[in-house]
Amino acid sequence: MSIDQLISGYKSFRQDYYLERPEFYKNLVKNGQSPETMIIACSDSRVSPSTMSQADPGEIFMVRNVANLVPPYDKNSIHHGTNACIEFAVRDLGVRNIIVLGHSHCGGIKRLCDRSENEVKREFIDSWVSIAEKASDTNLEGDDKYRYVERRAIEISLKNLLTFPWLKKKCEAGDLELHGCLFDLESGKLFTRGVDNDWTAIT
C-alpha cells in the first residue's frame, strides 16, 4: 500500500466511519479505553486481528511483534516493549483475556527453524525469535516442522506470561484467562488451543 493509498483510505474512514459515529468517539475520548481483551499478535501484514474479529476501536488492546512472542518476566531489562504493553493491559486496563494469536507461514518462525542454515545474520531478529528456541526441538522437517513450531511457540509464550507474578496472581484468582489461537492463512480457519495442548478449529 502506497502513501497515496493510505491517505485515500484515511479520507474514506473519516467520512464514512468517524464522522458517522460522533458520539461513539466522544465517549472514547471522555471515558478512555476499557478493553476486555488483549491480543498479542504477529507483525505479519497478512494477519489483521481487528479485521478478523470485526472489533470496534476501544475493544481490543493489541501488541504486535515478530512471531507473536512473549519474553519471560525480567524486571532488570530496560527495553521490553511487549512486556510494557502486557503490564499496562493487566495492571492498568484490567483486561480479562489475553490471546496469543499466531498464524501459519510465519516468517519469524521460519527464521527460528532455519537459523543454522542462514548465512546472513540479523542484529535483532535472531535473538528475538530465540525466545521460542525450545519449540524448534523436533525431528520434523520442512512444512511439517514449521506448522508444528508455530503452535509450540504459542504454547511457550503462554507459559512465559505466567512468569509475570502479578499476571499469574490474577489468573489464579479467576480474574484473567489466557488463550492460544492460530490463524491458518490457507484455509481461513482459526484454531484454538485446549487445556491438553490439542488444537481445534472453530467452525
Active site residues: 42, 44, 46, 103, 106
Which residues is 100 bridged to in the sheet? Answer: 40, 180
Q: How many residues does the chain have?
A: 203
Q: Is 81 helix (H, G, I), strand (E, B) or coil?
A: helix
Q: How far apart are CA 14 and CA 1, in angstroms?
A: 18
For residue 179, the SS3 value is strand
The letter for the amino acid at 118 is: N
3-class SS of residue 39 = strand
Q: Which residues contact 25 (CB under 8 A, 6 or more apart)?
A: 18, 57
CB 61: neighbour CB atoms within 10 A? 22
Question: Residue 83's beta-bridge partner residues?
Answer: none
Vertex 171 angle, CA 167 and 176, to 5°: 90
Q: Which cell goes with 50?
A: 481487528
CA 71 to chain CA centroid, nearest Å: 12
What would the grid cell of residue 123 be?
A: 542484529
